[in-house]
A and B are shown apart, each in its own frame.
Chain A
């Protein structure tokens, strides 16, 4: 079924009885050309691009739980391409371009809203760092402008400009950034992949790899053995657990990141605002809730919940930035498990086992990367060469000394 405004009106007039499920629920076949482990945003996007751009449709996506049950449904929905380093920025800009055409490509309303992101600065040093970052963004065609304090006062009059510790002096804005409906993105990719023949197999946990002579030949699952020409692992948060089954140790620690949403309020925040100095960022959803978050809790965790000290820290950051937030009630808080890599950047690469490929290490930045991650992983799976924007995301970059460390804090994952 093709979605359109006309279809919505027609269904409205006929009692909405004509809608069909978005995807099939097939039994696993004995073997596939490509098996993707992980039915989250990245895995589903990979399957979609394999089928749509690389002509590989004999593909299965294996998901332990239900589709989109991990971080694609637990993030704060921000899309942006305002990175600094040459290994990262072109990739995220490629992702931004894919976001811009995503709804038409998938025929699905993923509610991509380019409402801008503003990074605030408080000192001359931060201003210079953001100017440099803005220049790096321009090199990749991502745009970006410096905003004066006056311009900010006009756009965001509710900010606490005269905070004694972090007075707001200006900001870097990327107007093309914004938000998207996070689980809608998973559903859109799932539906589009299914339409192109991909089998989406839920409640199917991978328990082992079949490896013969250094070549992967299939996976063992709770629903039987499934043969595979190639296996792509896209299970960020649990990458270490899955790759351990294949005997690999990764440059990754799993950490919990919390996020929050307030009760619904009238429109007040026009875009995304980040207050890095205070460990706080915020946007407002289309339903009116303020969606915000801060730092990871900072210790290894596979629990999809965090602890109260970080809740307090994030809310203090919010109060420091925009005291009006104190009048809003907190509606929900939740946590997701992040693959925190040793340099804060992701991994999309082959492994030493032929036919086994890894996509992970997304830290707390995986959502915005969903389209490009899927595209680049599909490119790698289909052609055995990295996509031109993802050549730096190698697994051996740590051994070779080519880390991509945006923050420059070294091999200390809880500081990235």
Chain B
């Protein structure tokens, strides 16, 4: 898989470390309670189809990306810097 890095162009997915669902960026508020944190840490939507997910460019510029990818076909539909994604989705 080749990930279209917004700054560096197409990069081999092997240069990246995978973390998981991009919803991990929205951590519950500290006072949200145990149940909210349990959901945040352990539960996942795990969709078959389009999935937004966090990839870390560990062997590159060490940026975090939000990659949009189809989990059924492995087709990569887009990638943006996680910082940009956080700004645009907040």
- Which residues of A are interface residues toward B (Cβ below 8 A)? 238, 240-241, 244, 249-254, 298-303, 307, 309, 342, 398-399, 411-414
Q: Tell me whether B14 and A309 are in contact (CB under 8 A).
A: yes
Contact A240 B46 (CB under 8 A): yes
Residues in chain B near residue A399, CB distance under 8 A:
34-35, 38, 42
> In whole Å, how far is A346's beta carbon from the nearest beta carbon of chain B?
15
**A302 in contact with B48 given A307-B1, A414-B18 (CB within 8 Å):** yes
Contact of A251 among B12, B42, B53 (CB under 8 A): B42
Contact A411 B41 (CB under 8 A): yes
Taking Cβ atoms with an 8 Å cutoff, the residues of B that contact A are 1, 12-14, 18-21, 34-35, 38-39, 41-48, 51, 53, 69, 71-74
B49 to chain A, nearest CB (A): 8
Measured in the bound complex, the distance between the Cα atoms of B17 and A239 in whole Å is 25
Partner among A249, A300, A309 whose Cβ is within 8 Å of the Cβ of B71: A300
Cβ A300 vs Cβ B74 within 8 A: no
- Output the residue of B12, B39, B53, B74 with the most chain A CB within 10 A: B74
Given contacts A298-B18, A302-B71, A303-B73, contact A251 B44 (CB under 8 A): yes
Q: List 10 A-B contacts (CB under 8 A).
A: A238-B48, A250-B46, A253-B44, A299-B13, A300-B20, A302-B72, A307-B1, A398-B41, A399-B38, A412-B20
Choose from B35, B39, B44 the contact partner of A252 (Cβ within 8 Å).
Answer: B44
CA distance A298 to B42 in the complex (A): 17
Bound Cα distance A32, B82 (Å): 50
Closest to A241 in B: B48
Q: Contact: A303 with B71, CB < 8 Å?
A: yes
| A414–B48 CA distance with the chains assembled, in angstroms | 17
15 extra A-B contacts, CB within 8 A, seeds A302-B71, A398-B38: A240-B44, A249-B39, A250-B43, A250-B46, A251-B44, A254-B48, A299-B69, A300-B20, A300-B21, A309-B12, A309-B13, A342-B42, A399-B35, A399-B42, A414-B18
With A309-B14, A411-B41 known as contacts, the answer to whether A300 contacts B46 (CB < 8 A) is yes
Known: A299-B53, A300-B51. A249 touches B45 (CB 8 A): yes
CA distance A303 to B41 in the complex (A): 25
CB-CB < 8 A to A414: which residues of B?
A: 18, 20
| B20-A253 in contact (CB<8A) | yes
> Among B14, B34, B38, B71, which residue has its beta carbon within 8 angstroms of that of A254?
B71
Q: Which residues of A contact B20 (CB under 8 A)?
A: 253, 300, 412-414
Chain B residue contacts of A253, Cβ below 8 A: 20-21, 44, 46
* Residues of B with C-beta under 8 A to A301: 71, 74
Q: B46 → chain A, closest Cβ, in Å? A: 4
Q: Are A251 and B43 in contact (CB under 8 A)?
A: yes
Q: Chain B nearest CB: distance from A124 CB in Å?
A: 29
A411-B42 CB under 8 A given contacts A298-B18, A299-B18, A307-B1: yes
Measured in the bound complex, the distance between the Cα atoms of B46 and A240 in whole Å is 6
